[in-house]
Each structure stands twice: as structure tokens, then as C-alpha cells.
């Protein structure tokens, strides 16, 4: 895969996100270039067409502040207790979404943010996990 790395770490996106080859993943509204950014082919993951009961890795791409709560609620429901939910939004608050709006939604419930990263030149991401006492 071509290298389209963003950010300062120099790591492939799949490594920054904590994805491992062979891992099960559910992607919600992922852009067409996602696997190019990821530097991991779709065949190298177990992609879920629809979510199971306990998904270890979920990546949701948010496109509207109006649907942010509904999109995040839907994406977080099948999250495994020890899983990771990555929420991404377009950089520059173009859709009224930022790390602050995603974090505010998470903190109202059982999730906390533990990491932020640049997903691409256009997208940022925030990693959400269950609070320690909820795992």
C-alpha cells in the first residue's frame, strides 16, 4: 500500500489506531481512501458487515453535528468492554464537530477519551474506551 502518513509519529495508521492484522473491525461510514491511509488491506482484517455483540475495534466517521449523538450511540452499542471506538471528524470543525464535541458526548456516558491522532490530511480521530470501572 502507498504511504500517506500524517502526523509526527511516522507510524502507519493501523499501528496508531491499535489495529492488528487479522483483527475483527466494524467500520461506519469510512471514506473510500480509508485502507490507503490505514496501510493495511481489507483482506488483512476481519471486516464486519454489521456489528456483532462485542466488537473489539470500531471506527466511525462523523459528518454532521446534528447526527453526532445518534451516530456515536449507534457505533458504541456493540463495543466490547475492552474494545476501542475511534470517532473521526473532518479537521477544521467543517461539520461543527471537534475533539471537544466528541469528548463531551463520551463523558456524558461510560466512555472516556485516551488518545487523539491524525487519521489523514482531512480527518482527525479520538480513541474512546470504557471507563476503568466499567470494564
Q: How confident is the model at residue 71 (pLDDT cuts 50, 70, 90)?
A: very high
Q: Bigger pLDDT: 6 or 135?
A: 135
Report the pLDDT averaged over residues 14-23. 95
Domain extent listing, the chain: 13-134
Q: What does DSSP assign to residue 80? A: E
Q: Cβ distance 130 to 76 under 8 Å?
A: no
pLDDT of 1 over the 80 cut: no
Q: Which CATH number fits domain 13-134: 3.40.50.150, 3.40.50.2020, 3.30.70.20, 3.40.50.1240?
A: 3.40.50.150
Give the pairing type, strands 123-130 and 111-118: antiparallel
Share of the chain above pLDDT 90, in %: 86
Q: Within a 10 A sphere around the Cβ of 38, how many other Cβ atoms?
A: 26
- Position 92 scores a pLDDT of 87
Amino acid at each position: 500500500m502507498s504511504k500517506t502518513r500524517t502526523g509526527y509519529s511516522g507510524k502507519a495508521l493501523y499501528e496508531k489506531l491499535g489495529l492488528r492484522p487479522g483483527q475483527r473491525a466494524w467500520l461506519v461510514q469510512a471514506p473510500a481512501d480509508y485502507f490507503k491511509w490505514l496501510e493495511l488491506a481489507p483482506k488483512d482484517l476481519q471486516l464486519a458487515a454489521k456489528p456483532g455483540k462485542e466488537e473489539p475495534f470500531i471506527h466511525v466517521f462523523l459528518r454532521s453535528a446534528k447526527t453526532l449523538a445518534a451516530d456515536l450511540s449507534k457505533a458504541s452499542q456493540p463495543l466490547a468492554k475492552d474494545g476501542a471506538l475511534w470517532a473521526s471528524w473532518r479537521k477544521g470543525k467543517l461539520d461543527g464537530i471537534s475533539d471537544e464535541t466528541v469528548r463531551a458526548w463520551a463523558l456524558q456516558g461510560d466512555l472516556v477519551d485516551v488518545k487523539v491522532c491524525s487519521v489523514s490530511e482531512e480527518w482527525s480521530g479520538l480513541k474512546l474506551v470504557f471507563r476503568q470501572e466499567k470494564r
